Amino acid sequence: MDLSRLPPSLLDPSPIPGQAEEIQLLSDEAAPRSSNSPDWCQCGHCLPSQLPESHRCLEELCCRKKAGACITTSEPFRKLVLSRQLLQFLLLYQEPLLELDENSNSRLRHCAYRCYATWRFGSQDLADFAILPSCCRWRIRREFPKSEGRYTGFQSPY
């Protein structure tokens, strides 16, 4: 998934009315800690894992090492990971006859996971093994939710 080959219009889509206030630019200031944020969270946007206790360590990862703003509030995250138009383009690029409808959240969510991993790790090979930070995973899940709201967590490709 080479994002450098995308048409510029997909990387800079027109704003969608009503969404401008929802996306805040990344700043140097730390976000206020959510009451749901676990102790290991540094950005204030991570949520506790839904996995059994023995597997929770696989999801206890924040986007930051020190307290600060969350990557999910950045413009690149919005444009490269949450853009429905970009994700649909990538899915259709890979499978031109794919039918995308209102039930496409699963495909869009998994494509968003891969876009984040490729963007941050720079390699498709590494993206297969990447564990996404909790804040990123939950932001993607909020944008492209499962109807029943239960997620499986990290699944090893092997």
- C-alpha distances (whole Å) from 123 to each of 22, 109, 115, 119, 129 are 30, 19, 10, 8, 10
- Per-residue pLDDT, 154: 59
Residue 130 lies in a domain: yes
Determine the 3-state secondary structure of 66 from DSSP.
Answer: coil
Residue 158 lies in a domain: no
Q: What is the rounded end-to-end Cα distance, in angstroms, of the chain? A: 21
Residue 57 lies in a domain: yes
Query: Would the pTM of this model clear 0.85, i.e. be above it?
Result: no
Q: What does the alpha-carbon distance between residue 59 and residue 52 come to, in Å, rounded to a whole number?
A: 11
Number of domains in the chain: 1
Residue 156 lies in a domain: no
Residue 125 lies in a domain: yes
Residue 40 lies in a domain: yes
Q: What does the alpha-carbon distance between residue 153 and residue 50 come to, in Å, rounded to a whole number?
A: 8
Q: What is the mean pLDDT of each run of 10 residues along the chain (158 residues)?
A: 56 47 43 72 92 80 95 97 96 91 87 93 80 94 84 59
The whole domain housing 42 covers 26-143
Residue 131 lies in a domain: yes
The percent of residues in the chain predicted with pLDDT above 90, rounded, is: 47
